[in-house]
Structure 1
Amino acid sequence: MTHPLDRRTLLAGLGAAGLAAAVPAGAARRTPLFKRIGKPLGIQLYALGEAPRKDLAGTLRRLAAMGYRDIELPGFYDRTPQALRAEAEAAGVRYGSIHLGLPPRVAPGALSLMSSPQQLADALGALGVTKAVLPMPLLPETFAAPASGDPRDALASAVDAGGLDMWKRLAALLNDRAAALKPFGIALGYHNHNMEFRPQGGTTGWATLLGELDPALVFIELDLGWAAAGGIDPAAELRRLKGRVRMVHLKDIKATTTTNYALRQDPAEVGQGKLDWRAILPACAAAGVEHYYVEQEPPYTRDRFASMQISADFLSRFTG
């Protein structure tokens, strides 16, 4: 959510020429990027593994001390929206977004993207959230993680088996749910992995999905690390999708990551991998990104909170 005193508001109030004259160009360049654009640093709680489920209040306090203020929830952690919000307010943070799954891969009775718009509006309203995101493509209802072998292979195979028709059906579902939620003040988005970028039939699932989505209804939460793992230049994609990407997952990967479409990457803290943040972060701002959520995939080489501190330190000092 845009801060009421962000750069755009300040420029409108003071006048671009007057502000430019008041702030020397060199001083502006030395100001950290997130202060210049007036956006809080955010984090997707998935990156902390089981810590939020075991001790949400303590987790949020530790993240707030690192400078994270905008929190994206991966779900409800078996708590009520009211309890979730109380713990956020006590820690001095707020929720900006939540991921919602699809049946049957949510607990019986739990809220999902297919819950009634009124139910979702009530729950998200209690959280103080106006944006929801679907984080995975459609899977067969019979899909289950295999008893042996790498579950990533099974998931990627199930997505591939759906072909381009699955991406069209996904777009239709997102358009429909977004239209139903819009009157309740809830915006709906889609979060990518790298399966979307596999070439199929002379195109990709990503191109098919984007072509079918109504940009006036469904926004994109671009996961920069997964896009890079799928062979996509994140900065170029942000420029291409200007106006459609309202959120990003700030995620880095090591140079050892090879292009693939099966949920594989060698993760790194933001600023410690191969992504070109000097190109990516200004492209995010130019594209109109509203929420910046740090995330990191396992396996971790150090304590997860230590990794989140490294990413926060890099981003809070980044000047562009």
Structure 2
Amino acid sequence: MERNMISLSRRGFMQALAASGAAAPLAAACQTMASGPFFASKSAPIGIQLYTLSDMLATNLEGAISGVAKIGYKTVEIPSYMGKTPAQLREIFNRHGVKCTGAHIGMNLGTEAAPGLRGDLNKLAADMHILGVTHVYAPSMAIPTDIGLTQNPGEGYAYISRVAEAMGEERWKKLAAELTDIGRKLKANGIAFGYHNHNFEFAKAGNRTGYDIMVTESDPAFVSFELDVGWAAAAGNDIPALFAKYSGRYTGIHLKDLKASTVPNINLKMDPTEVGSGKLDWAKILPAAWNAGVRNYYLEQEPPFEEGRMEAAEIGYKYLSTLVA
């Protein structure tokens, strides 16, 4: 009897709350307490792509790493060797309690000291193991030697979009095959491999985009993808839909925001802003990324900066670390 009375009383209480308009806020508050901030609930570290701090990397690398560690970042992704040996970089990261889990390595020969993806992959893999890197990503495609285009004076980034539009299906397929070959060799050396996009990969090639071709024509056993959500959004993509479309192919993400004033394009143009200050719906994007397989999360911001670079890194971290999604 008491049990029924308690149940009725609870029901009556909720009805009274509904009548007063208080039920919805209470339900939202309970959900917030149950789930908590996204990254904490997933035990996933928030990382940063050090390109965000590029001005500091050449002049005060130690200060840059110290700064991101103090903000709270636990992992970093390097944009290059930054003029250091892997051992020197590892010492700096260790000193500040930061793990280097990702690296961007160009699709070029590189140098003897810092090999590229078309260089000595055995040496590259050994270097990555010294650093503690688990995933290497190609930051961009290389311009095909047979493309037959030259950059006009003052053309700037528009040249890249012209190249992308001229690629055609066969060149994108050839790139996918090269990515698979690189990935196979790196995997044999214990390093995972993937590709990081800008917005020019979403240029049309027949009935598909270059990005579609790269994903579908590369071998998922050897190639994953790091979705730069800022650049993908700048190309006009629905980010959660893109994660759902190619679920299982993603291992990394660049957490990058942009202003609503950004006009969809494939010309390497966007109006950047701090993560959480732009138009992207991170409460939808983060769960979509997780469900698609992403486990490497790196904040990155493009210039120009309204605040300083380190300030932007801190603004983004504070937003992401408290976001419930």
TM-score under structure 1 length normalisation: 0.87
Match of 1:27 among 33, 38, 43: 33
CA 1:220 to 1:200, structure 2 compared with 1: closer, same or farther past 3 Å? same
Q: Aligned pair in 2 of structure 1 residues 151, 130: CA closer, same or farther (>3 Å)?
A: same
The question of whether the paired residues in 1 share the 8 Å contact of 2:108 and 2:119 is answered with: no
Q: Where does residue 144 of structure 2 map in the other structure?
A: 140
Correspondences of 1:238-257 after superposition (within 5 Å): 238-257=243-262
8 A Cα contact 1:99 1:134, kept in partner: yes
Does the 8 Å CA contact 2:104/2:139 hold for their aligned counterparts? yes
Residue in 1 aligned with 2:320?
Answer: 315
Aligned 8 A contact 1:138 1:166 in 2: no
Alignment match, 2:15: none
AA at the equivalent of 2:324:
T
| Residue number in structure 1 paired with 2:218 | 213
Deviates more, 1:74-83 or 1:46-55: 46-55
The structure number with the bigger radius of gyration is 2
- The residue number in structure 2 matching 1:11 is none
Q: What amino acid maps onto 2:193 in structure 1?
A: L
CA distance in 1, matches of 2:180, 2:304: 35
Residue by residue over 1:228-261, the C-alpha shift from the partner in whole angstroms, topping out at 9 and shown as x without a partner, is: 0111111111122221111000000100001101
User: What amino acid is the match of 1:130?
Assistant: T
Q: For 1:72 and 1:86, how far apart are their aligned partners in 2?
A: 15
Between the aligned partners of 1:58 and 1:147, the Cα distance in structure 2 is 39
Q: Percent identity?
A: 39
From 63, 66, 72, the equivalent of 2:68 is 63
Measured after TM superposition, the shift of residue 27 of structure 1 is 2.4
Aligned to 1:8: none
| Equivalent pairs, count | 295
In the alignment, structure 1 residue 114 sits paired with structure 2 residue 114: no
- Equivalents in 1 of 2:46, 2:268: separation in Å? 26
SS in 2 for 1:49: helix
Q: How does 1:288-299 map to 2 (within 5 A)?
A: 288-299=293-304
Give the Cα separation in 1 of the matches to 2:31 and 2:70: 31
The one-letter amino acid of 1:203's match is R
Letter in structure 2 aligned against 1:125 = H
Q: 1:88 to 1:142 in 2, by over 3 A?
A: farther
Residue 90 of structure 1: CA displacement? 0.4
**Residues in 1 aligned to 2:113 and 2:251: alpha-carbon distance in whole angstroms:** 30
* CA distance 1:313–1:178, shift in 2 (3 Å): same
Counterpart of 1:53 in structure 2 is: 58
Helix, strand or coil at the partner of 1:60: helix
Counterpart code for 1:71: V
* Structure 2 spans left out of the alignment, 5+ residues: 1-29
Give yes or no for contact 1:37–1:285 (8 Å, CA) kept in 2: no
In structure 2, what is the Cα distance between the partners aligned to 1:108 and 1:149?
Answer: 33
Relative to structure 1, the CA distance from residue 265 to residue 156 in structure 2 (aligned partners, 3 Å threshold; closer, same or farther) is same
Structure 1 vs Structure 2 CA RMSD? 1.9
Instruction: Select which of 125, 128, 134 maps to 1:130.
Output: 134
1:179 alignment counterpart? 184
Mapping of residues 157-176 of structure 1, within 5 Å = 157-176=162-181
1:197 aligns with 2:192: no
SS at structure 2 position matched to 1:82? helix
1:84-112 deviations in Å (ceiling 9; x for gaps): 000000011010110111226x4576310
Give the secondary structure class of the aligned counterpart of 1:278.
helix
- How far did residue 166 of structure 1 move? 2.0
Residues 102 and 307 of structure 1: CA distance in aligned 2, closer, same or farther (over 3 Å): same
In the other structure, the counterpart of 2:3 is none
Say whether the 8 Å CA contact 1:223–1:248 is kept in structure 2.
Answer: yes
The farther-off stretch of 132-141 and 94-103 is: 132-141
CA 1:140–1:272 in structure 2 vs 1: closer, same or farther (change >3 Å)?
same
Does the CA-based 8 Å contact 1:137-1:159 persist in structure 2?
A: no
Q: How far apart are 1:57 and its partner, in Å?
A: 1.2
Change (3 A) 1:148 1:230: same
Q: Following TM superposition, by how much is the alpha carbon of 1:141 offset from its aligned partner in structure 2, in angstroms?
A: 4.4
CA contact (8 A) 1:28 1:36 kept: no
Q: Distance in 2 between matches of 1:26 and 1:153?
A: 45
SS in 2 for 1:262: coil
* Structure 1 unpaired stretches of 5+: 1-23
